[in-house]
Every structure is written in structure tokens, then in C-alpha cells.
A = this chain, B = another copy of it.
């Protein structure tokens, strides 16, 4: 049985959990707070980040969300999410990287720092200017997603792919932290409603991080 080291608001762990859910792979959640830099965790992953996925019977230790996703794509036939020609696979991976990097650093990471880490760890008030910047960046990313959906059924093309789950993982954490204003983004909203309705999304939407509560619309199918 796989064990996944993660915490409820880790967007990269969410990406992996979506994939595990879509592929119907059983796993056990293990709560890890990477900011505590627990010795045993850093021994498993010198980069010190969640998610880490472990099969202690093998033993196999998989580190880094994209590494885990590529591994699952290579080893599990069901529900392929990096599929098609080499060029189409490149387009899926380009968008995954865009959401894992740009969207994360410009939106999710500052929201997590200001609204989660400062509250739970540093006991500081959030910086309003940084929050405004993150929300402005969120708006630009939703504009780009709107534009993609003007041309495509799903983000990378006609078929649901890992790009959709990578985007939904970042956006769901940002939405939990009150950083997403959906007004004026009808394409993105419709797409995200379809993502929310997937069985792989339900257990994640139901989870709560201690102390920090999401806005009312967060887990609503209509929002």
C-alpha cells in the first residue's frame, strides 16, 4: 500500500491525489508539515518538500509531484493523463509546468505564506500588498485559462489531462485561501465546476486545515 506524505493545503500533494483517485489506486495519507523540517522526512527527501510517496514493502520512495505522476503514468494503464502524440504530451507537460511553477510562485505560494504559514507558524498578520498582488496574478492566470478554453474542451486539448488536474490543484488551494475572484471568468468557472464534480475531487474538497477555514463557496458545486 502506498503512503503519501502531505498536508491538506499542499497543492502538489493534491495533484498527486487527483491522479491516484482517477486511476483508482489505494493509498494511506500521512500528515507531514514540511516547515517543521522533521529529520526522518528530510532523510527521505533532501529537498524537504511534500509530496513524498512511499511503498515500504518494496521499498520505493518517490519524491516530487511530477516525478510521482510520470511514474504512475508509466506503471498504471487505467485513465492515462499524459497521452497522445509526443507533441501533445509536450503540450500537457508545458501546462503542468506553467501551473506548477508560474501559477504556484505568483499566486498559491504567496497566499499560503501570508494566510497559512504566517498564521500557523510565524504568528504574524498577513501583508495586504502581497495578498493584493497574488489576487491580481490569479486574475491574469484565469484570463489565460479562459483563453485556452475558448479554443479547447479541456486545458491541453480535446481530452481531460494532467494539465487540468495541475491547474485545479493550485486553484483549489488558492480558492480555499480566499485568493480567487471568479467574476468575469465564465469559461474558467464552468471548467472548475466540472473538475469539482469529479469523484477524485470530493474527498479533497471535504478536508479542512486546522484554524484556517475556506470561504463559503469553496466546496459548493455552484459558486
Contact = CB atoms under 8 A, between A and B. Distances in A.
A66 B95 CA distance: 12
Q: Range of interface residues on chain A? A: 20 to 34
A211 interface: no
A63 interface: yes
Interface stretch (A28-36, A82-90, A214-222): A82-90
A74 B47 contact: no
A74 B86 contact: yes
Contacts of A90: 62, 67-68, 70-71
Contacts of A75: 86
A47 B95 CA distance: 10
Nearest to A71: B90
A202 interface: no
Interface in A76-100: 86-87, 89-90, 93-94, 97-98
Given A47-B97, A47-B98, A64-B93, 13 more contacts: A46-B144, A47-B101, A62-B94, A64-B98, A66-B93, A67-B90, A67-B93, A70-B90, A70-B93, A71-B87, A71-B89, A74-B86, A74-B89
